[in-house]
Chain A
Amino acid sequence: MKQLVSEKFTLPKVYFITDRAEINELPVGVPFIYGDASIENHLVRILEYEVLYQEAVKTGFPFDFKAILNDAGYSDNTEFWYTHPTYMELTTRGVKLDKDPEADETLSFIGEKWGTFKDFIKDSSVYVDIEKLKKLKVFPTWLSKIEEAVHTNIHNFAVYNNNMYNKKLEGMFGALDLIAPSRNLIIIDISGSIPKAVSSTCLTLAKNLAETFYSDLMITGSKTTLYQYENLLDLNIETIYEQNGMDNDQVYFRKLVTSTKRKYKTVIAFGDAHGPGWAWKNSYNRNTGTISKKDGQKICQWEVEKVISFHTSNHAGSPRKPQLAGYVEWFTPEETEHVNDWLKYLK
């Protein structure tokens, strides 16, 4: 366990934990992030961006965040290619593109020739607003003042610690009537159309989210891999882009959701319009055909109570209906929440 420290400026107080056992040593309320030792520098960078961004917002003046990053010495930032996700509706007859003015119909082939995680973390094409993630209250948060962070975390503890929440009594009553906490799921789409800053930031925080939110983790690229909560250690984000590829998937996803029955309380999905319904063609997806949303929902064996969708194109105030991250389209949740404006496209 160590405090995350930046050489550039003061960060909010957050402890970095690489050993699961150490989480239990922390008193309730202390902000921490859990992950592999190799991501420490990436986490520091994410926190540095957050500090800069929040400071800029606080001034109340318009600002150019990319220029701020350059001024702050991030000379190694790179802009990686991505395609704005296309708004689409699936039909049984094939993929139908909507005539939405924002839609980019020049969607080109998403290859697997791109860089690696350590390159993508330097992507400056978008900024991921971490505040939106913190508002989910699924992990201990960090704030500029440690006292405020501690009080906030104590208040939220019942939400992000599933073992403390007794559903029958609707409150923090510990083990009066211990029931097994419900499992959750986090889906991260790492395909080429997702801005690299998005997928790499989500991957950096993936183990932390999964650990604190008691969730399995699904990574979708050219193939889909499900890391169950017990096997989170198997996930190596440094090599995930190479392992899973950066196209999209139908075959592996379909196999996962149709072969075993699973029940998830909440699914948090980061993605765009691309989902398993498309007839993707790549080395993992050879004999594919278009599957409609309706048919996908029929064959899907997974039960989901709630979906929280982080779609890359959802904006508050947009006249368009909020879009669902593609890889949750086959689920039939009782409740769906759309998170808007969690990405800032930097031009």
Chain B
Amino acid sequence: MTKLRIGFIPLADATALLVAVDKGFCAAEDLEVELVREVSWSNIRDKLNIGLFDAAHLIAPVAIASSLGLGHVKVPIIAPFGLGVNGNAITVSPPLYRAIKEAAAGDLSDPMVTARALARVVTERKRRGDEPLTFGMTFPFSTHNYHLRFWMAAGGVDPDEDVRLVVLPPPYMVESLQNKHVDAFCVGAPWNSVAVDLGIGHILHFVSEIFARAAEKYLGVRQGWAEENPDVVLRLVRAHRRAAAFVEQEQNHEEVAALLAPPNRIGVAPEVIRRTLDGRLKVSPEGVYRSDPDYLLVGRNASARPDPRQAAWLYAQMVRWRQAPLSAEMLAAAKAVCRPDLYDAALPEKEPAAAEPADGIGAFAGPAFDPNDIAAHLATWPAHA
């Protein structure tokens, strides 16, 4: 048995990892995994970087930032497996929901309609001299940060000037909305559902409505460690691929939800986790449900195969929001985080890449994303309109 320590944050997109360990898929690959539940992405990053963890459930932009040395020491991280695509949602307080609804010209499920409505709400608040709206997200280098920014900026809201974006640990999101410290947040499951169940939030959008595919979490390992342990990496990928296939079988959803519910795993009721796995979420306290089969992808439709185009898109957001300079070297280093070659090498059968969306991202607005031309993306989407 090869002994490994793997860190995770209690979120629904850690499912493939938790199932790989708890259902014995890792043991079948002769891997004895100790799972360590963590409380912050900073801890996950630091413990992976200094070798206290062999691998980690890692939010995709943190893997890229670590490889580029942004905001912290430079430690190259690679992702041979994608734990989740999509899975986030934007939740707003009931008063903000009403304001957006009143200002909206069209269908509220259309992100452009809501983004433009938000712009009107922001203008009106400025006119009245109200405090700017505050949006919670999970980390400076987070999908949540970039998803919120992309959406609101497309409607004409400047995320740095018109609203406040603040970091909040996921377990604090709900109480912050309740205490009115934030007016909205973007976070992964199960926290959006928890807010809706408490009657204090409306899910405005699934992120899958904003992007057809958005890389969310990676199974991250240090590049140096992967080079020293090539065989272990392949076994990890195989165990996770089998676990992901198990998770994606609908008849297993009940068992998986029960497996994830205990306090040492995710720590919420199985029924709430079940909604995420089924892609059918209660979006308003009045009991309105919305379904999207692509709400969270755990391996289905080639979603576990790391896609360098996704890494390029995330790097483009870092440049757009002035967290990173634009350089060909950095773009190459960001793409190199994703290792579809290792994924392919681990699996006996090749998985065809998903045909849709053609650019791998499928954003609700703007031209197709070209991973080799970040400058074109930035020209379409300047930081300040």
Binding partners A and B:
no
